[in-house]
Amino acid sequence: MRSRLIQDTSTLEPTWREWLAALAPPTRALDAWLGRDDRLLIIAPHPDDEVLACGGLLFDHHARGGRSLIVAVTDGEASHAPSAQWDAVALAHRRNVERLAGLRALGLDAPDVVRLGLPDGRAADPRTRLTERLLALMAPTDVVVATWRLDGHPDHDAAGSAAAQASAVHGCRLIEAPVWMWHWAEPDDPRIPWHRLHALELGVPAVAHKRAALSAHVTQLTARDAGRGPVLDGAIIARALRGAEYFFV
């Protein structure tokens, strides 16, 4: 069994497709995830996580006139560090532009984004007061989507844990999205609560808009300096373009 640490090798998409077909997690229609009048509150540790975690859900909810708020936990300024190509301030600025372009590609003409500006890689530091900040932004009627609290990246875990605490205080429904889990886990992995996994099937337009949204994240799709490949590799892109999104409930 591999560790939860994010390493270079990952479980490839054909393996996951075969496993998911055999597992056949229960499918819920959009209305069962959230009502048209519910606000979808997405807690995204880095720019692009709102697409990777739940871009299809966001597209479908918005297409029927639903409201959303994206809480941008960090601006993802550490994705290239150390880098001679990008300093942190310039990269944070660029990634915020990419985030907005990605959200527009999902159909949000005027995306509602709150940037918390927490340090990328250190969102779990208690001094960030992430739970308190989420408490202040959340309303009891929100349906909250956050990265899974055991996703295996410190910022994703921090966002998931803080979202769980704040949702419990407000009594919000919480949906947890695995993102990095698909990288380090394996089919039938005993560390994964497979019985809690449910699916939202996506139509062709949702997948197409997700593809367009992901392509807005140019800094993540191009090779980094010092011979490092792009952050979003082929396996991640293939997962993002599945005909379904999967969440823990």
Instruction: Report the nearest approach of Zn ion to the CB of residue 101 (Å).
Output: 17
Q: In this structure, are residues 213 and 55 in contact, taking their beta carbons and an 8 Å threshold?
A: yes
What are the start-end ranges of the E strands in the chain? 40-44, 68-74, 113-118, 143-147, 173-177, 197-201, 244-248
Instruction: Report the nearest approach of Zn ion to the CB of residue 147 (Å).
Output: 7
Q: How far apart are the first and last CA of the chain?
A: 25
- Nearest residue (beta carbon) to Zn ion: 46
Q: How many residues bind Zn ion (CB under 5 A)?
A: 3
98 is a site residue for Zn ion (CB under 5 A):
no
Instruction: Report the nearest approach of Zn ion to the CB of residue 153 (Å).
Output: 6
Instruction: Report the nearest approach of Zn ion to the CB of residue 228 (Å).
Output: 17
Residues 18-47 that bind Zn ion (CB under 5 A): 45-46
Of 13, 38, 49, 142, the one binding Zn ion (CB under 5 A) is: 49
Instruction: Report the nearest approach of Zn ion to the CB of residue 47 (Å).
Output: 8
**What is the helix, strand, coil percentage profile of the chain, to 5?**
45, 15, 40
- Of the candidate spans 49-57, 60-68, 80-88, 122-130, the one that interacts with Zn ion by CB under 5 A turns out to be 49-57
The CA distance from 66 to 60, in Å, is 9
Spell out, one character per residue from 160 to 199, where the chain touches Zn ion: x when CB under 5 A holds, - when not: ----------------------------------------
Any idea which residue has 């871009």 for tokens? 55
Structure tokens at 123: 């969102």
Residue 125 phi, psi (nearest 5): -60, 125
The residue ranges that bind Zn ion (CB under 5 A) are: 45-46, 49
